[in-house]
Amino acid sequence: MKNLKVFSESRAAVNLQAESEELLVSALDVEQNRIFFASSANIIYGINLSASQEMQWTINLCLQSELGLPPILEAEDRITGLDYLIEQEALIVGTSTGDLVLVVPTSNTVDVVGKVEGGVKTIASSPDGALLIVATGFGQLLAMTQDWDVLYEVSYDLDNNLETFMSGTRADGISGLSSPFSQVRVSWRGDGKYFATLGCSGNSEGLQRLRIWERESGTLHSSSEPKDFMEAAMDWMPSGAKVAAACNTSKTKNCASVAFFERNGLERGSFDIYGTTEAKIEMLKWNCNSELLAALVRYDEWSSIQIWSFSNYHWYLKQEWRYLGKNKLMFAWDPERPMRAICWTAYGLVHLLTLCWSSAVYDASIAIVIDGVNVLVTPLSLSLVPPPMSHFNIMFQSAVQSVAFTSRGLESHLAVGLSDGNLSIVKFPNMNMWDQLEGTVYETVNVDPGSLIKIEFGDLRHLTWLDPYVILGVMHCDGDQTSLYSDFISNNWRKCPLMSGGNNGVSILVEMELVCNNVEEVEPGCLSSSGWVVKSSMHTVIESSVVAIAANPMTRCEAFIQLGNGDIVSYMSKEGINIAPAELYKEKRSNLKGFLSYCPWMYPIPVYDYGKLKVLIFGLDEDGRLQVNGQVICSTCTSFSFYASAAGKVQEVVTHLIYTTRQDLLIVANIDEIFHGDVHYESMGNGQSPVGFGNKLQGENKLIREGNHDELKVWERGAKLIGIINGDEAAVILQTVRGNLEVIYPRKLVLLAIAGALVDKRFKDAVSLVRQHRINYNIIVDYCGWQSFVEAASEFVRKINNLSHITEFVCALKHENVMETLYKDILLPNHQDNKIECGSQIFLSNTDSPLEFGNQTIIKRLEPGNEIVSKNCKVRAVLEAVRKVLEEEVSKSPARELCILTTLACNDPPELEEALKRIKKWRETEIASTMNEVDGGLHKLNLSAEEALKHLLWLSEPDAVFHAALGLYDLHLAAIVALNSQRDPKEFLPFLQELENMPSPVMCYTIDCKLCRYESALKNIAAAGDAYFEECLQLMKSNPKLFALGLDIFKDVGKRAVILEAWGDHLFSEERFEEAAMAYCSTCSFQKALGSFRAGGLWKEALTMAGMLRLTTDEVSSLANDLCEELQALGKPAEAAKIALGYCKDVQGAINLLLTAREWLEALRIGFLYDMGELVKSQVKLAAIECANLLILEYEEGIEKVGKYLARYLAVRQRRLLLAAKLEMEGKAKEDVDDDTFSETSSNISGMSAYTLGKASNASGNLSTSSTGSHVRTRIRTRRKVHGGKIRAGSPGEEFALVEHLQSMVLSSRAQEELKLLLEALLLLGEEDVARKLQSFAARYQSCQLAAVKDAEDKLAEEQADGTAGESGESLSMYK
């Protein structure tokens, strides 16, 4: 769906030297961008096609040279062939007398290189320039090299022999040389392996053959069937697929046609030329990429150039340029620029036109496709059909050149520029009535000719609506027409001298205010095109070319005009062009910046910038650079469009840019990121790389994350974006090279549409989108938070109004928050205006007041203490809210009951018992209604119990439903469930019969035990009587949690004592000795209580129990000795010392235990208390000195260890930095190298022994004082296990493991406290030197360890500041 438009044009003139002189043939010089013409006066003209270097070169071949030599050509000679030889940079000229003349334009030298008999008909060089084909008047083809050697000579007219041509008479008596078929056309295939000829004299019926020849040998490869070809108009497609030839079919179809032939000569398709019977095709030309076919068609009163394009098995006439009069017209394509056309007349007027494809999809997703005299109109939102199909068709009286469509409000107008110079206006009905136009053809040819608006002095380009009744266009005029035009419009003349660099002529802006004088009422739903006249017009002359015009989407009667150098100016209706647009827009809306190069595709869009509406102008140039505000977004763009969402807004604004790239990627980018970002992440297919904007747009320097735009791989190569359906549809329409349409729905746009619907509380639209695009239903709840959804549950159910959809929604609910998992990286609306915060989400509201909901009971019930409950309550809260609304607000129906059952079955945990209770109730109602004839019809309003049960079994596990039915103690219901769940009756019937034969309490007890409902089982078996007390006791022993419930149930003292003793036994088995002792005490079992206290090391309570048992003194002493030994074994020497001193009267043993417990001062106090001061003093001194010496040794080893750890860390770090620098120099990324590479360091660098078994036990710095070295080492080994074990040399995590070990070697607070007590004891005992030495080593160790950690952290902080840390540069705060 695209149209072809002329976006720039220029004119040049060849100054002919004679009055009756005409241009005959031409040749193009691609390298120097110039064209040569040969005239009827044997003069060769050359002009430069570049506007900045306009010049003319001439040489007369009939004049004598300066040396007095005779002229090259005689006056009666006629130039019949001309071609440019690239290798020789010269022209080869063929004449009617057979001369071959070589003309060198740079030196003006002329040389006759050969002569052929019969004269030259045409000359055609091969694509590589190595071979020259010359067709002679005697029907011969000569193949010559660049040295003018003839390779071969063959006859191209096999129907007549050489004698026929030499005699001048054919077999049918017609003169051969004067035959109307004497014109010959030679066309090469693109690769130069074959060439085709057409234009021989033909057979007796005037029919000719298209012949295909081989290049190397000149052998005839194939030929077509005899056909009535027209004027030797033939051209081979450069791609080599087809040969196009003009045929005369006026006898059958009353029109000329173009037929296509394959290399084997077989005809493969054709199409008819628009026009009357007198239309004659004089020339056919393919452009260099084989996309467009130009046909030069001559009529009685004018000649026209028609541009045809093929798509979807249909040929479209996309452009027609008419030239009045009977002057001979010729045409050529630029050999290197496929969209550049060159037209010229026989009298020297040269017209250069540059074309471009434009999207045929306009406002409101309306596709308007040009096809000759037809305009195919298709609203894509109603019918998605590709051309040549359409929703309806509008037919005009001549070929359509350009169209402009506007749809503002209820009025829609179409302006059509016709090839005959007229302008036609068509008024469309309201879009709600377009479905009535399907399949209709509206013919405007029957409209009163007075309604056509005649445009003088050329075609009107770039038609643009400024208002439903104001239209703006551009005409191009050369110098001669400008003065004439200025006289014609002197009353409305405005001149704006905007120079764009050497362009020929001027551009004239034509603004026309239209009015419809049609007094006749148009039938509703029909088109109207009559009565339109120009009320007023204004003309503005710009001394520059105009590339594009686009209306301002924010303001009526204003447009943006792009000049030839990419600059953009503003045009205001009735006012003209603003000379200083940048300053104007800086005060109003935004800076109006131009493009880096001219962009034929320009689109202004409205966007929001911090709550203010502004305009961004996007442009795409011919090189594929997508630009905005003077910056490049993508350098490989092929097509682009915009998606607009009005979520929470009154006015629709553009939110996303969608474009395709040459790598066949579809990119969905957020406009906010582009507008405020500094760098764009440009996808280049293989090897993506960020590309900077160059200059900052706004904000900080940052990358647009990949999560902010989607990259979708386009499945068919070359497919382009043609349009987007905005709003909730969120459809992206692509057209493939074949022409068919494909629609995709990017996940980002769909989610954006769903978010907009949820914001506006359009729950029905949101659910529809979720179902259509298979989006996770949880987004409906998670987008605004489940608390807000619970409040809006009533509105949700009411607006959905479809119980089937609600059931789907209920079944899909999960505890997972999809906004944090599944759709976390996809950008959703996050605007600043009208936002409501729900949890961690922000969403829009289209109202100024906050959301108001009525019922808050569910949230209050789920939020004890007015605190937000965990997210695991989401499913339960939502389903309870939905179920409550269904029960209270929805009328009773089977669908409603099924939906309620679904909410119960899908709850977490499932409420199957509640669902079965409802089914049981419906079953009872069914039974009662069948027994009561009067109410027999009431049960039809309810759901049948069997259907409900099947639905519940479908939603839940059959075993779970069966167990739930058993839990209701309804054996009949359980049997029904088992039968419907296809259980084997041999399995469940005996079990149910056994239950039925049991007493009711025992049956309930058995069922509860099977279902693991032990609390209910205990209550039921207790109700069975005293005979079942042993079963109760066994149940409590097997489920200890029931002991407390058993005490509540049984009030008898004897039974409570049995339960408490059993509970105590259980606690004792679990080593909960204190609780077990309390249970034993409650039953006066003091002996068991004593054993429990002893087992738990509770010596005070144990000795208390000894008193309660009234033990003798010897028994108490024996008990004390046993407790003392047990406490020592448990590592509690200080507690054992108290027992030895208080109960055993063993002072020396108590002092030894205190020394073991490192209670130095307490040992001295006890010694002096019992008059053993000197003895104790000597013992304490020896133990303290021994402990101090051991600590000094540990500190010395620790200092050495810290140094080795630090040296190892620095070595590993240096190795990693050197390797990273080397990789950077080699152009590799760190991510491309294995982690092990960074740690391949020899473990012998620093002589570190911590990785071996030598001294690994002292790696920890948690040093503690002890009288024995084994105790200290045991504590150190335990500490090392906590910090992760040994370090592996060369491992990826070695560097950070070293830092971790350094930090873990710090002196703990407990170690410092023990050191303090030891120093105090040494000073008290007079060992000041030992204390000073110990303090010195401890201080050195502590300072060394802290300095090493600080050095490592400083190195890493410095590395992070330089940005070289990379993945290894994480913060060390986690190790502190």
Q: Would you give the distance in Å from CA 1366 to the centre of its chain?
A: 28
Specify whether the CB–CB gap between 407 and 463 falls below 8 A: no
pLDDT of residue 931: 64
Q: What is the pLDDT of residues 384-400, one digit of tens each?
A: 888 889 999 999 988 99
What mean pLDDT do residues 128-132 have? 90
CA distance 1003 to 1016: 12
Lowest mean pLDDT among 456-465, 752-761, 1073-1082, 1178-1187: 456-465
Q: Which stretch, 128-142, 435-449, 571-585, 1151-1165, has highest mean pLDDT?
A: 128-142
Q: Please give the structure tokens belonging to residue 1292.
A: 């990826």
* CA-wise closest residue to 1315 among 1341, 1291, 1294, 1297: 1341
* CA-wise closest residue to 146 among 136, 160, 131: 131
Q: Look at the pTM and tell me if it is higher than 0.75.
A: no
Instruction: Count Cα atoms within 13 angstroms, Cβ side, for 1348.
Output: 28
Lowest mean pLDDT among 439-453, 896-910, 1141-1155: 439-453
* Amino acid (1-letter code) at residue 889: E
How many other β-carbons are positioned within 10 Å of the β-carbon of residue 1162? 16
Q: What is the dihedral of CA 1122, 1125, 1130, 1131, to 10 degrees?
A: 150
Q: What is the pLDDT of residues 350-409, one digit of tens each?
A: 888 999 998 888 877 889 999 999 999 998 888 888 888 999 999 998 899 999 998 876
Q: Would you give the distance in Å from CA 340 to the centre of its chain?
A: 35
Q: What is the pLDDT of residues 192-245, one digit of tens each?
A: 999 999 876 555 567 888 999 999 988 999 999 988 888 778 999 999 999 999
Residues 6+ apart with CB under 8 A from 633: 626, 627, 657, 669, 674, 680, 682, 693
Specify whether the CB–CB gap between 912 and 952 falls below 8 A: yes
* CA-wise closest residue to 276 among 394, 373, 183: 373
Place 489 in a pLDDT band, splitting at 50, 70 and 90: very low
Q: Side by side, which strands form the sheet with 132-136? A: 120-125, 132-136, 140-144, 150-155
Lowest mean pLDDT among 445-449, 580-584, 789-793: 580-584
pLDDT at 681 over 50: no
CA distance 556 to 579: 19
Specify whether the CB–CB gap between 271 and 258 falls below 8 A: yes
Q: Which stretch, 325-339, 440-454, 1252-1266, has highest mean pLDDT?
A: 325-339
pLDDT at 411 over 80: no
- DSSP H or E segment with residue 151: strand 150-155
Lowest mean pLDDT among 122-126, 614-618, 1154-1158: 1154-1158
What mean pLDDT do residues 1111-1121 have? 81
Phi, psi of 326, deg, nearest 5:
-105, 20
Q: Which stretch, 24-33, 186-195, 514-523, has highest mean pLDDT?
A: 186-195
- Please identify which residue in the block is written with the tokens 């209770």: 917
pLDDT at 836 over 70: no
Q: Which long-range contacts (CB under 8 A, 24 or more apart) does 1129-1132 make?
A: 1130/1097, 1132/1097
Q: Please give the structure tokens belonging to residue 901.
A: 């059952």
* CA-wise closest residue to 457 among 443, 430, 478, 436: 478
Would you say how long the chain is, in residues?
Answer: 1376
Mapping DSSP onto H, E and C, the string for 1176-1241 reads: HHHHHHHHHHHHHHHHHHHHHHHHHHHHHHHHHHHHHHHHHHHHHHHHHHCCCCHHHCCHHHHCCC
Decide: residue 383, CB within 10 A, 0-12 exposed, 13-18 middle, 19+ buried.
Answer: middle
CA distance 405 to 723: 15
Report the chain's mean pLDDT, rounded to a whole number.
Answer: 78
Q: What is the dihedral of CA 757, 762, 763, 768, to 10 degrees?
A: -70
- Please identify which residue in the block is written with the tokens 């989607």: 710
Please, what sign has the CA dihedral across residues 585, 591, 594, 599? negative
Coil vs helix vs strand at 561? strand
- Please identify which residue in the block is written with the tokens 């011919």: 622
